[in-house]
Amino acid sequence: MSDSDEKNRHRAVPSGRLSRLSGFGRLAGGVAGGMMAEGARRISAGERPRMQDMLLTPGNAKRLTDRLSHLRGAAMKLGQMISMDAGDVLPPELSDILARLRDNASFMPPKQLDKVLADEWGMDWRKQFRRFEPRPIAAASIGQVHRALLRDDQMLAIKVQYPGVARSIDSDVDNVAGLLRLSGLLPKELDIVPLLAAAKEQLHEEADYLREAEQMERYAAMLGSIDGFVVPELHRELTTGKVLAMSFEKGVPIESLADEPAEVRNTVFSRQLDLVARELFAFGVMQTDPNFANYRYRPETGEIVLLDFGATRDVAPEIAASYRKLVEAGLAQDRETALREAVAAGFVKQSTVDSHRQRIERMVDIIVTELASKETFDFGDRAFVPILRDEGMEIAQDRESWHVPPVETLFVQRKISGTALLGARLKAVVDLRRTVTKVLAENPAPEDEA
């Protein structure tokens, strides 16, 4: 990264309500100006401009990404969540814009960083370290991470929360949602209301670093007897509600495995699938943020390093039971039971099934066929996804069919969908049926144990 690029990424986080609202206003004004200029250009060229063409200019794409990256917090997180959750149904242009937000956060300038740490640790906070690296090793939506060396030569990763982020969550989510709705880029069939509620709930939990510290230790205990995973060790003395201190764990981005031999990719992703199944059917707790940045890989040991436990949530027994019944019906290729359990779990309304039975049954048939296959499952082959999307969009044209699944189901489904996206990125080919069957057998339902 050049010096100029480094300087451009150091931007103070707007922490006050008025300064953040002003940021959204500048974004809306900039996009509107860009639309007018593009419309005038197209008219002068003898073209009849479409609203979508005027919105999706390179300039407006840059404005949206740049402003949300500057605001950070819920503004940036919502863009990440929508791009991860709805990537298969959004227009490709909007998906690309929002996906850039995953790795495009700016850094706090040193003066603002120093103030945050002084407020949390005291004015002489630097005396606790041999070295504290001012340039973060990672910058995301809620905070940025620094590497620091203690006086006893222990290397730590220090996650520092951006100022003002916690108290701006609700208004930021509403403002970003308003911008996206006004843009006309979100398909009218896509109901993002449950996403908004989930985003607010998750973000309030993620902004509590003491809660995240508890969840990190919880995962360390659960995975203690399972090989192949590394959880950072909490440094209690330096952890506060806005600063999380933990051991620094080396690793490379997990998506970099895409260049590794198939055997490595398949082994690592099989392990990740096994973890997700155990979260749902054994642990009763799940880290529900599937962002690729939350996983690192250690080539020398083959271990997966797990990071960021802010989105960890308990899985209600009834939610786990619903997924179990759905999966078992799918494995047995019992399409009728699978459809009935999908209704019982709240994925779809019975009235929608009655009105669109042929389309619903076609979607169930595709899912069951893929899940029940005794062949290895190729996550890189997503040919069935557009079919499911098209059928779902046709059903969604009927406003009476719109339905919000239970919020807790949305959290679990987000992790499952995000894990599938990782498999697609790695082009992993795994025995999905065997992995799921093994975890179910090792963790029978309560009624099966009676």
Q: List active site positions.
A: 289
Local structure of residue 168 (DSSP, 8 states): G
Half-sphere exposure of 412 (CA within 13 A, CB side): 26
Q: What is the dihedral of CA 99, 101, 103, 105, to 10 degrees?
A: 180
Residue 254 near residue 304, CB atoms below 8 Å = yes
Which residues are CB-neighbours of 260 under 8 A, at least 6 positions away? none
Contact criterion met (CB below 8 Å) for 324 and 436: no
| Cα–Cα distance, 56 to 183 (Å, whole number) | 10
Cα radius of gyration rounded to whole Å, the chain = 23
| Identity of residue 272 | Q
Question: Residue 303 — φ and ψ, nearest 5°?
Answer: -85, 155
Q: Which residues lie closer than 8 Å to 391 by C-beta, 6 or more apart? A: 359, 362, 363
Q: CA-CA distance, 8 to 223, in Å (whole number)?
A: 40
Q: How many CB atoms lie within 10 A of CB 134?
A: 12
C-alpha to C-alpha distance for 309 and 287, rounded to whole angstroms? 6
Tokens of 330: 């799918």
Question: On the CB side of 264, how many CA atoms lie within 13 Å of its CA?
Answer: 16
CA distances from 353 to 220, 357, 417 (A): 43, 5, 23
Answer whether 67's CB lies under 8 Å from 78's CB. no
Q: How far is residue 250's CA from residue 312's CA, in Å, rounded to a whole number? A: 22
The CA-to-CA distance between both ends of the chain, in Å, stands at 61
CA 15 – CA 20 distance, rounded (Å): 7
The whole-angstrom separation of Cα 335 and Cα 355 is 18
